[in-house]
Chains A and B, each alone.
Chain A
Amino acid sequence: MNIRYPIWNDQCSNIRFSIFRLFLVIIVFVIGTSFSIAQPIVKIGSKLFTESVILGDITSQIFEANGINTEYNEQLGGTRILWNALLAEEIDVYPDYTGTIIQEILQENEIDSFEELEFSLNNFGVGITKPLGFNNTYALGMNKEKAQELNLNSISDLRSVPELRYGFSNEFLDRNDGWKGLSEFYGIEAENVTGLDHDLAYRGLEVENIDVIDLYSTDAEIEYYDLKVLKDDQNFFPTYQAVLLYRLELEKTNPEAITLLGKLESAIPEQTMIAMNSAVKLDKRTDEEVASEFLKENLQLNSTIERNTLWDRLLVNTLGHLYLVGISLGLAILIAIPLGVTAAKIKAVEGSIIGFVGILQTIPSLALLVFMIPLLGIGSVPAMAALFLYSLLPIVRNTHSGIKGISEPVMESAYALGLPNAVILKKIELPLALPTILAGIKTSAVINVGTATLGALIGAGGYGQPILTGIRLDSTALILEGAIPAALLALLVQGFFDLIEKWATK
């Protein structure tokens, strides 16, 4: 029989107040921490690849050595993310390349001189240094033997061998000055094109999983793997002079910083850059070290670099990770349980609540992180927002089903006692649903710990940071430095909630 218990009494209980208070504390905490981040310091960003990270380190160290406080968000993402972060004032300086700026950012073909480029950028409130001294153009490369075998010397030659397997970095694949434009310009028909991480591409070439990859002409690996660079015989690729982009406001707020950036102009010849890339990627030295050496040798500048031990890094990454997981999960619990209760109690919104959190869960985590950037910028706040949304579903669903699952006779007896709904919720429904709710929180927490590693992609720190750097440097040790603690933390969280569950169902 279908029994409907009318919600006739709406006496307020004190749970609602205590939840409200907890909420306030968390909001104050979040706002507090974001203020502490907003000190007057120069924020530097870099792209995902080693050269960009080194240039960021050089910039950061030249500032620090001259008493300017910096915050360095390395490996923030691709061109779009860095550019948007600059416009959104999330960062103040980052390294880029003239060709990239013209083709990919401004998307203008009318720019013929550096002055015109500077003028266009100024319209966005962005300044540009003079070229740093080297041209890092795109190129296509392949194994020498394979090139010889097929008699390939230039990019035009690729037209005759459509069966070649191409493996390109994802950004190159989509860019106008990348594969999209190149294949059209040269009229290359390719059957087999895949996107992959640039640092992994060399590996793929070595084990002959792919035949042709994109190169940066200053990559240390070209020489190391003895690769054939295919000649851009029809001059498709523009020049990619390395420059630093900065927010024009810096000229007013921190003119000394601009002067220092000027010292880097024409200071890095191509061979020097290749050597630095090689030192990091092949000799496995740290970005900071290599940058510091460069400043010492070329600008007679002594920069101190912090030497973090494994334990220091582990501590920083653990705290960063716990920060992301703790706040996002805490907020999710505070929001999801009332949502689940509402869904269980009010038929009119049941479908929409369960449906909404379900849809959130279907968005790929990487995409959700990127969606957050225009709304919340980069760093830990957007990452936490994404993780928060992800954590909702298991808790909402379990709260809902936990309450719905209470047997009808029990609910009938509860209402028959003449208790208000709030008291029934607190004394009967929530305690009876507690094991199910806890199971939902456990699921959320474990997923959250894993997903939070992706936060590093938008500069949120945590265990994802060493994984990201490890992929860039092809360093298994670094990858494990993030992966093992992340796995351990997931197990720990699981064990912790198992204990709580045991205690709650005692």
Chain B
Amino acid sequence: MISAKNISKSYSSKDVLKNIDLNISAGNTVALIGPSGCGKSTLLRIIMGLIEADSGFILIDGETVSKENVLQVRQKIGYVIQKGGLFPHLTARENATLASEYLGWSTSKTEERLSELADLVQIDKNMLNRKPDDLSGGQAQRISLIRALMLDPKIILLDEPLGSIDPLVRHELQSDLKKIFHELQKTVLLVTHDLGEAAFLGNEIVLMKEGEIVQQGDIRQIISNPVNEFVEQFVSAQRSPLEGY
């Protein structure tokens, strides 16, 4: 469903991505993980067509992304970012329906879809009338998810969606996200720096370092067979709550 072929990108002589090849099959949920600055968010933006790669190309649903079709491609992909992604001057409803309104959906179709999605992401429909400033962090991300799912995209890209959510809410949202992914059976690519979250949500993990994919596969496989010292370190760098005792 998503293919990145030979993607390279550099900013002022710093290579952010080096010949990345990545294939994600339909219905798969993949977690892209790695230390800060490893290029994972850049890769996501290139897939979305928000930045151009220096070389290589992206295939979405069998179609090569180009200047001509980038808008149509974006409409096939739901996109959720860490925070602040909601438009502050619009209500939650207006945020969610901006694209459908542009595409000329009828009010009844829009409302039907909204209520379906509100149930799915478990948010009170009254919240739809609020502006982002009047929503909690968790509520805002649920609205972002509604906005991303509005056009029923085949693919969902999430860039650290729970990065700035406090732990209790994050725990709850992780469970809800897992349920939603399972229910929808979409192709999901999720960027996170938390291995626990990656393992919990993704059925496949892609580990990146300095613009390259280091290891890719099932979490058990990565833990039991780290390909190098970096992977071993990265896996063991997770602290358990009782470690200090």
Residues of A within 8 A of B (CB): 1-6, 8-9, 407, 409-410, 412-420, 423, 427-428, 431-432
- What's the least CB distance linking B242 to chain A, in Å? 36
Measured between alpha carbons, how far is A423 from B104 in the docked complex, in Å? 13
Task: Tell which of B80-88, B108-116, B182-190 binds the partner.
Answer: B80-88
Determine if B48 and A409 form an interchain contact, defined as CB atoms under 8 angstroms apart.
no
On chain A, the residues within 8 Å of B82 by CB distance are: 409
B residues contacting the other copy or chain, number (CB 8 A): 31
- What's the least CB distance linking A32 to chain B, in Å? 39
Measured between alpha carbons, how far is A418 from B75 in the docked complex, in Å? 5
9 residue pairs, one from A and one from B, having the closest CB atoms = A418-B74, A416-B79, A418-B75, A409-B84, A413-B85, A417-B99, A8-B67, A418-B71, A409-B85
In the complex formed, the residue of A with least CB distance to B153 is: A418
Determine if A414 and B48 form an interchain contact, defined as CB atoms under 8 angstroms apart.
no
On chain A, the residues within 8 Å of B75 by CB distance are: 417-418
- What's the least CB distance linking A2 to chain B, in Å? 6
Determine if B71 and A413 form an interchain contact, defined as CB atoms under 8 angstroms apart.
no
Measured between alpha carbons, how far is A215 from B73 in the docked complex, in Å? 81
Partner of A410, one of B51, B52, B67, B85: B85
Measured between alpha carbons, how far is A3 from B102 in the docked complex, in Å? 25
Determine if B89 and A6 form an interchain contact, defined as CB atoms under 8 angstroms apart.
no
Measured between alpha carbons, how far is A5 from B49 in the docked complex, in Å? 9
- What's the least CB distance linking B154 to chain A, in Å? 13
Determine if A2 and B11 form an interchain contact, defined as CB atoms under 8 angstroms apart.
yes
- The answer to whether the Cβ of B45 comes within 8 Å of any Cβ in the partner chain is yes
In the complex formed, the residue of A with least CB distance to B89 is: A431
Summed over the interface, the residue pairs from A and B with CB atoms below 8 Å come to a total of 75
In the complex formed, the residue of B with least CB distance to A415 is: B50
**Could you list 16 further interchain pairs (A-B, Cβ under 8 angstroms) beyond the known A407-B84, A416-B79, A432-B89?**
A1-B11, A3-B45, A6-B52, A6-B70, A9-B71, A409-B84, A410-B84, A410-B88, A416-B48, A417-B98, A418-B70, A418-B99, A419-B102, A420-B71, A427-B98, A432-B88
Q: Show 19 A/B contacts (Cβ-Cβ < 8 Å), sorted by A.
A: A4-B51, A6-B52, A6-B67, A8-B67, A8-B71, A9-B70, A412-B85, A413-B85, A413-B86, A416-B48, A416-B81, A417-B99, A418-B70, A418-B72, A418-B99, A419-B99, A428-B87, A431-B89, A432-B88
Determine if A5 and B50 form an interchain contact, defined as CB atoms under 8 angstroms apart.
yes
In the complex formed, the residue of A with least CB distance to B12 is: A2
In the complex formed, the residue of A with least CB distance to B70 is: A8
On chain A, the residues within 8 Å of B48 by CB distance are: 416
Determine if B74 and A415 form an interchain contact, defined as CB atoms under 8 angstroms apart.
yes
Measured between alpha carbons, how far is A428 from B89 in the docked complex, in Å? 8
In the complex formed, the residue of A with least CB distance to B99 is: A417
On chain A, the residues within 8 Å of B84 by CB distance are: 407, 409-410
On chain A, the residues within 8 Å of B87 by CB distance are: 410, 413-414, 428, 432
On chain A, the residues within 8 Å of B77 by CB distance are: 416
- What's the least CB distance linking B207 to chain A, in Å? 21
Measured between alpha carbons, how far is A68 from B113 in the docked complex, in Å? 77
Measured between alpha carbons, how far is A8 from B144 in the docked complex, in Å? 25
- What's the least CB distance linking B74 to chain A, in Å? 3
In the complex formed, the residue of A with least CB distance to B86 is: A413
- The answer to whether the Cβ of B192 comes within 8 Å of any Cβ in the partner chain is no
- The answer to whether the Cβ of B141 comes within 8 Å of any Cβ in the partner chain is no
- The answer to whether the Cβ of B139 comes within 8 Å of any Cβ in the partner chain is no
Measured between alpha carbons, how far is A8 from B88 in the docked complex, in Å? 25
Partner of B81, one of A8, A412, A417: A412
- The answer to whether the Cβ of B29 comes within 8 Å of any Cβ in the partner chain is no
- The answer to whether the Cβ of B42 comes within 8 Å of any Cβ in the partner chain is yes
On chain A, the residues within 8 Å of B86 by CB distance are: 410, 413
- The answer to whether the Cβ of B8 comes within 8 Å of any Cβ in the partner chain is no
Determine if B83 and A409 form an interchain contact, defined as CB atoms under 8 angstroms apart.
yes
Determine if A412 and B50 form an interchain contact, defined as CB atoms under 8 angstroms apart.
yes
- What's the least CB distance linking B27 to chain A, in Å? 22
- What's the least CB distance linking B7 to chain A, in Å? 16
Measured between alpha carbons, how far is A417 from B81 in the docked complex, in Å? 12
In the complex formed, the residue of B with least CB distance to A428 is: B87
- What's the least CB distance linking A3 to chain B, in Å? 6
On chain B, the residues within 8 Å of A431 by CB distance are: 89
Measured between alpha carbons, how far is A413 from B73 in the docked complex, in Å? 15
Question: A1-B42, A410-B87, A413-B81 are known contacts. Are A419 and B98 too (CB-CB below 8 A)?
Answer: yes
Measured between alpha carbons, how far is A89 from B89 in the docked complex, in Å? 55
In the complex formed, the residue of A with least CB distance to B81 is: A409
Measured between alpha carbons, how far is A2 from B87 in the docked complex, in Å? 21
B140-162 residues at the A interface, CB under 8 angstroms: 144, 147
Measured between alpha carbons, how far is A404 from B99 in the docked complex, in Å? 23
Measured between alpha carbons, how far is A5 from B81 in the docked complex, in Å? 16
- What's the least CB distance linking A422 to chain B, in Å? 11
Partner of B41, one of A1, A418, A423: A1
Question: A409-B82, A409-B83 are known contacts. Are A419 and B71 too (CB-CB below 8 A)?
Answer: yes
In the complex formed, the residue of A with least CB distance to B144 is: A413
- What's the least CB distance linking A1 to chain B, in Å? 7
Measured between alpha carbons, how far is A418 from B73 in the docked complex, in Å? 7
Of the candidates B52, B79, B82, the one having the most CB atoms from chain A within 10 angstroms of its own CB is: B79
Measured between alpha carbons, how far is A181 from B129 in the docked complex, in Å? 79
On chain B, the residues within 8 Å of A415 by CB distance are: 50, 74
In the complex formed, the residue of B with least CB distance to A417 is: B99
Partner of A417, one of B51, B67, B74, B89: B74
